[in-house]
Structure 1
Amino acid sequence: MKTRTIGMWLYQNSGGEAIQKKLVKQLKERGIETITGLNLRNAVAKNGTIYCNSDNGKGKAVKMNKLDLFFSYNAGEQTQYQMFLYKALNRIMPTINNYEAFELTEDKFQTSFLLRNHGVLTADYRLCHRDDGRFLSKILKKWDKMVYKPTDGWGGVGLTKIENEASLDMLMPFLNQMDLRFFYVEKFIDYDKTDYRVDIVDNTFIGCYGRKAGGSDWRTNISSGGSVFLREPEPAVIELALKAAKITGLEIAGVDIIYDRKKEEYVVLEVNGIPAFATPEQEKVGLDFNGKKIELIAELIDKKTQH
């Protein structure tokens, strides 16, 4: 069998560099060479080939479409240009995550719409055209509280809790100024300000931890002031996460689940295509799933490059 070579772009902060080294080592043991730092921001496309220089600037530009697989895993630095080229590569070679599933889960409406149609509980939602903005007032009266979400946001950025007409009146001029074509809102769920983050790789449960909102905030995202704690999931939580990941088609997924205290049921809040590994600080307090996650990702890459 000829030597297999894959390209990788993995975040380097918060322990990412060490994760990359361990993954590269495991891939080498499987006979797979890795070219790291392939940030598509540094790429150009011409005449059927995408050329990309690595982040370290060393060596010749890599012919991306000659690789056996491209592994893209960096939520914080992705741009529309990178996504555009990622989509093109996905048409001719294996990518992880596969672009179709990744693009789907980048959009909260598309994800919720698909999950609901496959019997997975999500927050009640509404999508309306910007010309129907007045409809939001009627929704607020029905729901009492709701959350505006950018359909393509991450890390809690842009989430806005709407509790009354005054807060809605303050939000609308801002949304109109952004020239949005539609508005996506979810009913605010009565929960205990904690969630479950369940990690899945290749339809296999990897691990779970909890996140708790900080202070008076209601968002559990770490980037919004939330904190991580050890949490043992019930079988129902794992089953729900596995089902959500499988429906979306993600090979690697982080499924956020909360418990609706009013309806007494678990609800999928979000499905993420680039769930972070545990940071060194989090590993010290007991989050020990990194090893298993790296091993299964290496196994997944091995399997997808066999053909």
Structure 2
Amino acid sequence: MPTFAALVSGTGWHVEDLLRAASALDVSLHVLPFDEVEAAVGSGAGRVSAGGVALEAVDGVLVRMMPPGGLEQVVFRMDALHRLEVVGVPVWNPPRAVEAAVDKYLTLSLLERRGLPVPATWAGQTAAAALVAFDEFGGDVVVKPLFGSEGRGLMRVSHRELAWRSFHALERLGSVIYLQKWIRHPGHDLRLFVLGGQVLGAMRRTAQGDEWRTNVAIGGKAEAWTPDAEAERLAVAATEAVGAVFAGVDLIEDLDDGRRVLIEVNAVPGWRALSHATGLDVAAALLGSLREAVR
């Protein structure tokens, strides 16, 4: 029986779903808090562990979610994942993919380098430069946190005075100012779940009421959607661009030019809404694929 470890942030539906799938697949699964990871070097050997489990001895590690933390904490957690990879423990997603996908600017840079369609985006550190970008984007932008998910912290700004205030507040906080030109879209986006170079399933997420954000975590409605060949091509290529084994890839249709653009690649994607909308057993697919990879 293979033994895996899932590094998580708290407990909840996804943890229970992974444990259910592990039992059905006859897989031993340790669910371990990411913030309990510790490591040592010297005395002839290095070691990485969490919750008393030696991670260098398991057959594979699944990175489910990284908890919030300071810069040093986040860097150390990634260092530990790199250590596991170096000593031969399969880590899904690989640490380089997690590092790339968690950073919105880096993600889009990697996608653009592959020739994939991305929205007009600007990132910088001063309010004055951000106001120039705001004007160049037609005075209608979405302000996003550089790191973040589930639509949290997004703000549409289409008034210059509000833009001035917002950008100066972010500058005072020492934050990166990350702007995306507002895309006129049909009120929904598309989430495709890629695993092992193929699209496992997809859903359409529709904003509700006066809300423009489509994320299910903030009230969006999810329904099963059958992707066409072009959507599948974009999703798989985006996943490969960040070096991920599995990912949640978001596409949105730009009504002004009729094309789809890639908004995000999530290397620690949730799948609750996708499973409910499509009936897919994503947890079983993930653990099953990891089991096949380590055989």
Same fold (TM over 0.5): yes
Q: Matches of 2:266 and 2:228 in 1, distance apart?
A: 20
Letter in 1 for 2:58: L
CA 138–95 in structure 1, closer or farther in 2 if over 3 Å, else same: same
Q: CA deviation at 1:232?
A: 2.7
Q: Percent identity?
A: 20
After superposing the two structures, state which structure 1 stretch, 160-169 or 136-145, moved more: 136-145
Say if 1:255 and 1:272, in contact at 8 Å, map to a contact too. Answer: yes
Letter in 1 for 2:61: F
Say if 1:40 and 1:85, in contact at 8 Å, map to a contact too. Answer: no
After superposing the two structures, state which structure 1 stretch, 241-250 or 191-200, moved more: 241-250
Q: Which of residues 276, 289, 294 is equivalent to 2:280?
A: 289
Matched, 1:169 2:164: yes
Matched, 1:52 2:50: yes
Aligned to 1:298: 287
Q: Matches of 1:71 and 1:19 in 2, distance apart?
A: 10
After superposing the two structures, state which structure 1 stretch, 108-117 or 142-151, moved more: 142-151
Matched, 1:107 2:123: no
Correspondence 1:72-83 to 2 at 5 A: 72-74=63-65, 77=67, 79=69, 80=74, 82-83=77-78
Aligned to 1:236: 230
Matched, 1:208 2:207: no
Q: Matches of 1:156 and 1:6 in 2, distance apart?
A: 30
Matched, 1:218 2:192: no
Aligned to 2:150: 155
Q: CA deviation at 1:17?
A: 0.4
Say if 1:50 and 1:63, in contact at 8 Å, map to a contact too. Answer: yes
Q: Matches of 2:193 and 2:252 in 1, distance apart?
A: 15
Say if 1:260 and 1:266, in contact at 8 Å, map to a contact too. Answer: yes
CA 91–150 in structure 1, closer or farther in 2 if over 3 Å, else same: farther
Q: CA deviation at 1:78?
A: 5.2
Task: State the superposition RMSD in angstroms.
Answer: 2.2
Q: Matches of 1:279 and 1:109 in 2, distance apart?
A: 26
Letter in 1 for 2:6: M
Aligned to 2:20: 21
Correspondence 1:76-91 to 2 at 5 A: 77=67, 79=69, 80=74, 82-91=77-86
- The secondary structure found in structure 2 opposite 1:240 is helix
Matched, 1:273 2:271: no
Aligned to 1:8: 6
The aligned length equals 283
Q: CA deviation at 1:220?
A: 0.9
Give the gaps of 5 or more residues in structure 2: none
Q: Matches of 1:40 and 1:163 in 2, distance apart?
A: 39
Structure-1-length-normalised TM-score:
0.84
After superposing the two structures, state which structure 1 stretch, 194-203 or 224-233, moved more: 224-233
Say if 2:2 and 2:291, in contact at 8 Å, map to a contact too. Answer: no
Report Cα offsets for 1:205-249 as digits up to 9, x if no partner: 111111112221211112222221232322221221111112221
Structure-2-length-normalised TM-score:
0.87
Report Cα offsets for 1:250-272 as digits up to 9, x if no partner: 11111000100001001111011
After superposing the two structures, state which structure 1 stretch, 114-123 or 143-152, moved more: 143-152
Say if 1:14 and 1:279, in contact at 8 Å, map to a contact too. Answer: no
CA 223–296 in structure 1, closer or farther in 2 if over 3 Å, else same: closer
Runs of 4 or more off by more than 4 Å in structure 1? Answer: none
Q: Matches of 1:70 and 1:270 in 2, distance apart?
A: 24
Aligned to 1:197: 191
Say if 1:8 and 1:34, in contact at 8 Å, map to a contact too. Answer: no
Say if 1:200 and 1:207, in contact at 8 Å, map to a contact too. Answer: yes
Say if 1:74 and 1:274, in contact at 8 Å, map to a contact too. Answer: yes
Matched, 1:188 2:177: no
Q: Matches of 1:297 and 1:83 in 2, distance apart?
A: 21
Q: Matches of 1:149 and 1:84 in 2, distance apart?
A: 27
Q: Matches of 2:252 and 2:92 in 1, distance apart?
A: 27
CA 90–237 in structure 1, closer or farther in 2 if over 3 Å, else same: same
Letter in 2 for 1:9: L
